[in-house]
Amino acid sequence: MKVTNLEVFVLGDPEPSERVDHRIDALAFLRIHTDEGITGLSEVFAVPPGVAKAVLDGPDSMFGRQIVGEDPFPPERLWTRLYNGMLHGNRRGWAIMCIGAIDVALWDICGKALGRPVYQLLGGGERSRDQIWSEAQRREVVPYCTIWCRDFDPVSILAQQIEKVEKLRDLGYRAVKVEPAYSAPETVVELARLAREAMGPDRIVCVDVAYLWNDVGLAARVANRLAEHDVFFLETPFPVDSLDAYAGLTARSPIRVAAGEHTTTRWEFLDLMDRGGVTVVQPYMTTVGGLTEAKRVVELAQPRGVLVCPGNWGTQVLGAASVQLAAWSPITPLIELGAAEVFWSPLRRAVQDVGLPVVNGAIARPTAPGLGMDLPDDLIAHFRIDRGDGGVKSTGFWANPEKFGER
């Protein structure tokens, strides 16, 4: 089998009729083609579509020149080739994210070629009986649903986010993450209290303050108060490069401290764990450098007693890769999900509808080959905002709004 082409297409939501909590403006996706007709899919999260096209689109792109004609087996070999090719240049940032997208798509191809889900190629289900207390943990992946809101004054944050917490609870979701961004400490604690009250004692509540502080003392005081409400982790209290601040907090915090959504490669995660003392790391499956690199992060985190809970603010294409890692990983109790039920985004909803389903708050261990999902042609055509020649469709071009639920 040989890689024959790399194709980038850009999807986005239509213009909403009113102000909404979140909209996907333009998100690039990668499809890798082979001479046997097997294709691999990936989302290119957080990379500007123009950059993704220059680096990934076609046999003459930056990385296309290096992998067209190559055998996709094994993905690790091509990962090393692409990364080592940058040793005299940019080994981080958008370049590593694009390698990550290639890597996820290659794993998808390999799984399809072998007729197996990707997690089995990563090593199978590694949860041992000594690390679980429920047989269900062997068979399912649990998402925590991130919540965002339209307005960020204290009254609106509490009202809008708790309304979504209650909706997710009633839908059977087992874990949520509230985001009191731009908030005073009292609002952070009150939102956690209300979320715990709404979810009850047996479900999971996490808190993300979105790089809010630079004061270790303040962060430690808030962490102690969050512990009263059984918060599973406190995410990104400081800018991600403030490793000394993380170390100061993690030495004092009674709850787990999480970070890593924009962190690339295993080496940056080593810094988070060893210098920052972070106890929950959150690699995005493409941002970190792909499933190949995410697997290495798990292998480094396990002997350090650190959990790996993949982040995902993109769609369930990225989410499918997270599920595959979690189905293999012995230290991944949760993965992130931006649940379409509580966001305005026709694209997010459409992708979730064709993705791995959440049933009773969990995703069953995948059985389909590859990532376990693909994007139908009509979905791509409906939400596509690039014309294939670098141009962009005009707003309002979308067809079939009845099928895909725009409003």
Positive or negative torsion for Cα 288, 293, 295, 297: negative
Low-confidence ranges of the chain (pLDDT < 70): 128-131, 387-402, 405-407
Q: For residue 164, what pLDDT is reported?
A: 98
Q: Is the pTM of this model over 0.75?
A: yes
Whether the CB-CB separation of 1 and 35 falls below 8 Å is answered with yes
C-alpha span between 72 and 268 (Å, rounded): 27
CATH placement of domain 125-364: 3.20.20.120
Reported as a single tens digit per residue, the pLDDT across 196-236 is: 999 999 999 999 999 999 999 999 999 999 999 999 999 99
Q: For residue 395, what pLDDT is reported?
A: 43
- Name the CATH topology of 3-120+374-404: Enolase-like; domain 1 (3.30.390)
Phi/psi class of residue 17: alpha, beta or left (left: φ > 0; alpha: ψ in -120 to 50)? Answer: alpha
Do the domains spanning 3-120+374-404 and 125-364 agree at the CATH topology level?
no
Q: For residue 399, what pLDDT is reported?
A: 58
Domain regions of the chain by residue span: 3-120+374-404, 125-364
